[in-house]
Amino acid sequence: MCKRLLFALVGTFVVLAGGARAEVDANYRMVLLTENFPPYNMAINGKNFAQEDNLDGIAVDIVREMFKRAGIPYNLTLRFPWDRIYKLALEKPDYGVFVTARLPEREALFKWVGPIGPDDWVLLGRSDSPITLSSLEQAKGYKVGAYKGDAIAAHLIQQGLQPITALRDQENAKKLMAGQIDLWATGDPAGRYLAKQEGIAGLKTILRFDSAELYLALNKQVPDEVVQKLQAALEQMRSEGLVDDILNSYL
């Protein structure tokens, strides 16, 4: 008798849980976070907080169209610093963060949609810099600036370098010109775009040492169906040439 009652209660719970899940699905909405990382994502007013239509950039345009085609509602917010929004996407269900490099050490931490665009890794120097390098190993004798929490900074540390990190990557452009650092480890074209925003041009590529593809990283609890819809939408956009059109409109 007790067993029959237990089975009946379990069956009732399953039905109720199924109904609750259907309600969650009907109201499903993702929370998307990004940072100022021109020309991929940026606040129109240049500040470190922006929402919805007050954002611009290559990745913002691609992600908006991707979610539109997939029919998935979302909220979009740009915040600072990167470490904070990365942690939120890592820990909170139905959160996502973009753009970020898809690296082996990050592979199992998220579900991925992309690639959205390329990001070459370079060491930049002043136009009059006498430095010549053929490997990252040779950079150990120089003061190298990098962006705190960024994949490039992490890579430098793994390679035995001790980068001097800044909370905003564009600060490194100023440090480079002021002689506070010898080299700036950054992305290309992102670094040059940021330097131009600071009125700095003519930086020299001392070394192109790696490249990465940039993605939308989704919390592990985001349903696979959502991930698949977004990926399919992106592939359709790419086949139509829309991804390249958006990229070229900014560069």
User: What pLDDT is attached to residue 82?
Assistant: 93
* CB atoms closer than 10 angstroms to residue 122: 26
Distance, in Å, from the CA atom of 216 to the CA atom of 142, rounded to the nearest integer, reads 33
User: What pLDDT is attached to residue 15?
Assistant: 37
Go through the domains of the chain in sequence order and give each one's CATH number. 29-118+213-250 (3.40.190.10), 120-211 (3.40.190.10)
* CB atoms closer than 10 angstroms to residue 210: 15
User: What pLDDT is attached to residue 16?
Assistant: 38
Distance, in Å, from the CA atom of 230 to the CA atom of 61, rounded to the nearest integer, reads 14
The pair of structure tokens assigned to 36 is 């100022």
pTM of the model: 0.69
User: What pLDDT is attached to residue 21?
Assistant: 35
The pair of structure tokens assigned to 106 is 């990050």
Query: Which residue type does 217 have?
Result: A
Query: Which residue type does 37 have?
Result: F
156, 242 contact by CB (below 8 A): no
User: What pLDDT is attached to residue 6?
Assistant: 37
For 133, residues 6+ apart whose C-beta sits below 8 A from its C-beta are 123, 139, 206, 207
Q: What is the pLDDT along the chain (251 residues), one digit of tens a residue?
A: 433 333 333 444 333 333 333 333 778 999 999 999 889 999 999 899 999 999 999 999 999 999 999 999 999 999 999 999 999 999 999 999 999 989 899 999 999 999 999 889 999 999 999 999 999 999 999 999 999 988 899 999 999 999 999 999 999 999 999 999 999 999 988 898 889 889 999 999 999 998 889 999 999 999 999 999 999 999 999 999 999 999 888 86
44, 88 contact by CB (below 8 A): no
69 exposure class (CB count in 10 Å sphere: 0-12, 13-18, 19+): middle
Distance, in Å, from the CA atom of 99 to the CA atom of 214, rounded to the nearest integer, reads 6
User: What pLDDT is attached to residue 193?
Assistant: 82
